Chain A
Amino acid sequence: MNFKKQLKEGLLTQNPVLVQQLGMCSTMAITTSLSNGLGMGVSVTIILALSNIFISLLRKIIPDKIRIAAYVVVIAGFVTMVDLLLQAYLQDIAESLGVFIPLIVVNCIILARAEAFASKNRVLPSAVDGICQGLGYTLVLVVMSVIREFLGSGTFGSGVLNGGEGIRIFPESYGAQMLVLPVGGFLTLGVLIAVVQWMQDRSARKGGK
Chain B
Amino acid sequence: MDVTKLLSIALGAILINNFILVQFLGCCPFLGVSKKMDTAIGMGFAVIFVMGLASGICYFVNELLVALGLGFMQTVAFILVIAALVQFVEMFLQKMVPSLYEALGVYLPLITTNCAVLGVALLNVQNEYNFIESVVYGVTGGIGFLLAIVLFASIRERLDMVSSPPKCFRGFPIALITAGLMALAFGGFSGLQVW
Q: Which residues of B contact A (CB under 8 A)?
A: 21-28, 31, 72-76, 79-80, 83, 112-115, 118-119, 122-123, 126, 166-177, 179-181, 183-184, 186-187
Contacts and interface: CB of A to CB of B under 8 A. Distances in A.
Contact of A187 (B21, B31, B170, B177): B177
A194 B126 contact: no
Nearest to B83: A69
B173 to A, nearest CB: 4
Given A25-B27, A84-B72, A103-B122, A186 B176 contact: yes
Given A190-B174, A193-B172, A99 B72 contact: no
Interface string A1-45: 000000000000000000001101110110000000000000000
A33 to B, nearest CB: 15
Given A77-B76, A182-B23, 13 more contacts: A25-B27, A25-B28, A25-B115, A69-B80, A72-B112, A102-B74, A102-B118, A103-B122, A182-B22, A183-B181, A185-B183, A190-B173, A193-B172
B28 A194 contact: no
Interface of A: 21-22, 24-26, 28-29, 68-69, 72-73, 76-77, 79-80, 83-84, 98-99, 102-103, 105-108, 111, 178, 181-187, 189-191, 193-195, 197-198, 201
Contacts of A183: 180-181, 183-184, 187
Contacts, number: 125
Given A21-B172, A28-B27, A99 B122 contact: yes
A80 B78 CA distance: 12
Interface core residue of A68, A72, A99, A198 (most chain B CB under 10 Å): A99
Contacts of B170: 197
Across chains A and B, which 9 residue pairs bring their CB atoms closest together, nearest first? Answer: A186-B180, A190-B176, A29-B24, A198-B168, A194-B173, A190-B177, A76-B76, A187-B180, A25-B27
Q: Is the interface of A mostly helix, strand, loop or mixed?
A: helix
Contacts of A73: 76, 79-80
B168 A185 contact: no
Contact of A99 (B28, B114, B126, B180): B126
